[in-house]
Structure 1
Amino acid sequence: MLCSPTVGFNGIWWSLGMAGTGLDVLQNNKIYIVGTNTMCDQLKGLSLAQQKMCKMYYDHMPPIGAGAQMAIKECQYQFRFRRWNCSTIQGDSSVFGPVLQIPSREAAFTHAISAAGVVHALSRACREGELSICGCSTAMRPKDLNRDFIWGGCGDNIEHGYQYAKAFVDMREKEKNHPRFSKELARMMMNLHNNEAGRRSVYNYAKVACKCHGVSGSCSLKTCWMQLPTFREIGERLKEKYDGAVEVKFNKRGTKLKRKHKKYNKPTTEDLIYLLQSPDYCQANKETGSLGTSGRECNRSSDGMDGCNLMCCGRGYNTFKKTIVERCNCKFMWCCYVKCKTCEHVQDIHVCK
C-alpha cells in the first residue's frame, strides 16, 4: 500500500533508498570528482551539511542508498501483519509520510532501522573494496580466540561503518537550532537516541566467523574474521525493541529525556524511546498518515495483530473464494530436468470491511 505524505520537513536522506532521487548518477561509482559538487546538490533528501559530506566522500552515497533501501524493505517485512505496515510512496522524499511527525514507536523504529541499514551497508562496502578510504576490518584479535586459528581474514569494517553512519545520519538533527523546552528539541533528542540504538544493533552484535582449511576438509586450520549479523537478525532485534519501547519526557530543565513511568526500567542505549502514544491506525487519516485497515487481508484463525478481530478493529470482514494455481507433484527426470503437474485449489480470503 502507498501513503501520500505531507511531512513538514523538506525530505529525508532515507529517500536515497527510493527510485528517482538522483542517486542513479552515483551508482557503481560511475562519477568523476569534477562533477561531485553538482551531483551531490541534486540528490533529494540531503540536508546542507549532508551535501557537504557527499562532496567529500561521494563514493559513500551508493552504499547509504542501498542501506536505506534495505531498511525500508526490512521495516515492511517486520510490520507486514500490523495495522501500520511501514507503507511508503514512490518518489516522495519523506518516504514514510506524516507518521514521522508523531514522535511515536513507529517513528522510533524507522529511525533505528534506517541508521542500522547505513552501518551495515557501509561496513560491507569497505570489505568489498568499494570505498576509497577504508578496507577490511582492522579489529584486534579476540582474546578468547583459539591461538591455533589465523586472525586476519577480510572482515566487515564495522568501525568505519559505525563512525561514518553516526556523523552522516545524526548531522541532519544536530544542524537544526531548536529552542529549549520545545517539542522540536524533544523530538531531536528522541531521534538521536533511536539512531544510536539502531547503530548499536549492528555494532554490538558483530561476531567472529571462521573458515576451515586442510586436506579433504579436515579443518586442521581455520582463518577467522569479524562478520556482521544478517540484516534480518537486526530487524528482528529492533522489532523486539519496538515492542518494549519506553515512553519518555523532558526533565524540568529541558536538557534530558527521562522515562515517563518509573515502574519501567530506564532505557539503555540499545532501547527505543518515544514521546507520544501511537494512533490506532484503524481509520484512514491524512494528518497521521494512517491508511486505515479497510481492504487489508486478515487471518481469521489468529488471535494476534494479523487476526481479523484486531486487524479489522471490530468492523468485521468479508470472505472471498480465490483459486490458487501452483506447481505440484514435481519429479526429477533423468536426465536432467524437473517435471511438475499444475494443481488448483480454492482458498478462503478474508478482507477487512
Structure 2
Amino acid sequence: MFSFSVIGCLLFYSVSILATKNVEGSQPTLQKTVQALFTERSQVMYPGACKLIRSSLHQSKMCKRNPGLAEVLQQAKDQAIRACEEAFQYDRWNCSLVFNNKAKRSIFNKIYRETAFVHALIAASVTHTVAKACASGDLTRCSCTGINGKNSSFKVGGCGDDFKQGKRITRHFLEINEAGYDQIGEILKQDVTVGVDAMAEQMREVCKCHGFSGSCTTKTCWKRLGPFNSVMGLLKKQFHHAIKQRIVNYTTKRAITPRVRKKMKIDRKSLVYLHKTPNLCVSTKGRVCKDRNNCATLCCGRGFVTSHKTVNYRCKCKMVDCCFVKCDTCSQVVDVYTCK
C-alpha cells in the first residue's frame, strides 16, 4: 500500500496540473469574448441573436433585447482591429494573434502585456460604438444625454453619445463580474476597466446656439466622444507603461484575499499583466520600417535593405466652375526600408 505521504504528494501534483490547465484552457466568458472579437478576422456569422460570436445564454438575451446590437458589435470588432494594426504597424508586435508566427504561441495563452492591451482595446471599442449607436438611433434602448442650457426662453432637444449605456453594455456583454475573483480575474477586470475609463476621458461637451439673427437665446449642449483613433494614443501609452505583477496564486485559482490584494498593489489606472512577452525579433524579418530610426529598433540590429518605389498623389489642386476641385496626379520616388 502507498503511504499517506506518497498519496498526498500524488494528489497535490494532480491538483496542480488540473489547476494549470483550467487557467490556460477553460476560460470565463470575458476571455472567450475578447479573444473571439479580436481573433475572428473574417465575416463568419454564427447562429443565434448575436451572430458575431458563439454567445453565452446571457449574451444572446442581450442581443435579443437590444435590436441592432449584433451589427454594433461587428463595427466594434472591425474598428478595434483596424485601429490596432494602424497604431502598431511599425512596432515589433503588430497586433498579430501569435508570437513569432507560431500557432501554439497565442497571445491569449497567458496574460502577456499584449493580452492586457487587447482586453482594454475591445472594451474601449465596444463602449465607443454603443455610445455612438445610441446617438445615431441604431440602438434604441438608450437614454437621451442632451443638456439644455439654463435661462433659455425655449428648449431645443438634442441627444449626445450615451457613454453610460456604452459602459453598461460593455460590462454586461463581457460578463465582467463573472471573470472570477482569483488573480487572473482581478487583472482582466482591471484591464477592461482601463479601456472603458480611457474612452471616458474622450468625452467632451459640445454646444450649439439657437436664436433669431444668430443670437444665442437658447444654447443646447450635449456630450460627444471623439474619433476612436484619439483614444488609441492613450491606450498605446498604457501598453508601454503596463505593470507586470508577480504571480501570487496563478496555479491554485484561489480567490484573492484582502491581504493578498494588498500585496499585489495594483494601480487601478494602469494595465496589468503577468507574463513576459517572448523575444519578437525573429518575427520582424522582412517587415517594412517607417524610417531609418525605426529600423534600428524594429530590425533588432540585423540591418535593413533600402529599395525604391514610385507613389502617386494628388497635387496642384484648384477650384473650377465655382464649386469643383480639380487636381493633377503627381508621382514621387520614395525610399522603402525592409528589415533583413
TM range (shorter): 0.7 to 0.9
Asked if structure 2 preserves the Cα contact closer than 8 Å seen for 1:15 and 1:21, the reply is no
Shift of 1:17: 7.3
Matching residue of 1:28: none
Change (3 A) 1:241 1:15: closer
Give the TM-score normalised by the residue count of structure 1: 0.72
Larger Rg: 2
Say whether 1:314 aligns with 2:301. Answer: yes
Change (3 A) 1:19 1:325: same
Shift of 1:167: 0.8
Change (3 A) 1:227 1:324: closer
Change (3 A) 1:64 1:349: same
Q: Which amino acid aligns with 1:206?
A: M
Asked if structure 2 preserves the Cα contact closer than 8 Å seen for 1:129 and 1:135, the reply is no
Q: Secondary structure at the match of 2:312?
A: strand
Q: In structure 2, which of residues 40, 45, 59 is the aligned counterpart of residue 50 of structure 1?
A: 59
Matching residue of 1:217: 214
Q: Determine the C-alpha separation between the residues in 2 that align with 1:215 and 1:98.
A: 62
Asked if structure 1 preserves the Cα contact closer than 8 Å seen for 2:49 and 2:70, the reply is no
Matching residue of 2:334: 347
Say whether 1:156 aligns with 2:161. Answer: yes
Q: In structure 2, which of residues 277, 280, 289 is the aligned counterpart of residue 298 of structure 1?
A: 289
Matching residue of 2:267: 267
What is the identity percentage for the equivalent residue pairs of Structure 1 and Structure 2? 32
Change (3 A) 1:329 1:208: closer
Change (3 A) 1:339 1:120: closer
Change (3 A) 1:345 1:208: closer
Task: Deviation per CA, 1:38-91: give whole Å up to 9, x if none.
Answer: 5338643434542343344453221122122212222122212211111369xx
Q: Which amino acid aligns with 1:322?
A: K
Q: Determine the C-alpha separation between the residues in 1 that align with 2:64 and 2:86.
A: 33
Matching residue of 1:113: 121
Change (3 A) 1:129 1:188: same
Shift of 1:121: 1.3
Q: In structure 1, which of residues 174, 177, 183 is the aligned counterpart of residue 178 of structure 2?
A: 174
Matching residue of 1:29: none
Q: Secondary structure at the match of 1:84?
A: coil
Gaps of 5+ in 2: 1-23, 99-104
Q: Secondary structure at the match of 1:40?
A: coil
Q: Determine the C-alpha separation between the residues in 2 that align with 1:77 and 1:213.
A: 40
Give the TM-score normalised by the residue count of structure 2: 0.74
Q: In structure 2, which of residues 196, 200, 206 is the aligned counterpart of residue 199 of structure 1?
A: 196
Q: Which amino acid aligns with 2:288?
A: E
Shift of 1:325: 3.0
> What is the Cα-based RMSD across aligned positions, in Å?
3.4
Change (3 A) 1:61 1:345: closer
Say whether 1:255 aligns with 2:290. Answer: no
Matching residue of 1:323: 310
Shift of 1:274: 0.9
Task: Deviation per CA, 1:155-196: give whole Å up to 9, x if none.
Answer: 22222221121011135x826xx7x9xxxx533322211111
Matching residue of 2:10: none
Q: In structure 1, which of residues 223, 226, 238 is the aligned counterpart of residue 235 of structure 2?
A: 238
Matching residue of 1:279: 278
Task: Deviation per CA, 1:198-229: give whole Å up to 9, x if none.
Answer: 11222354232111223443444311112223
Q: Determine the C-alpha separation between the residues in 1 that align with 2:324 and 2:240.
A: 47
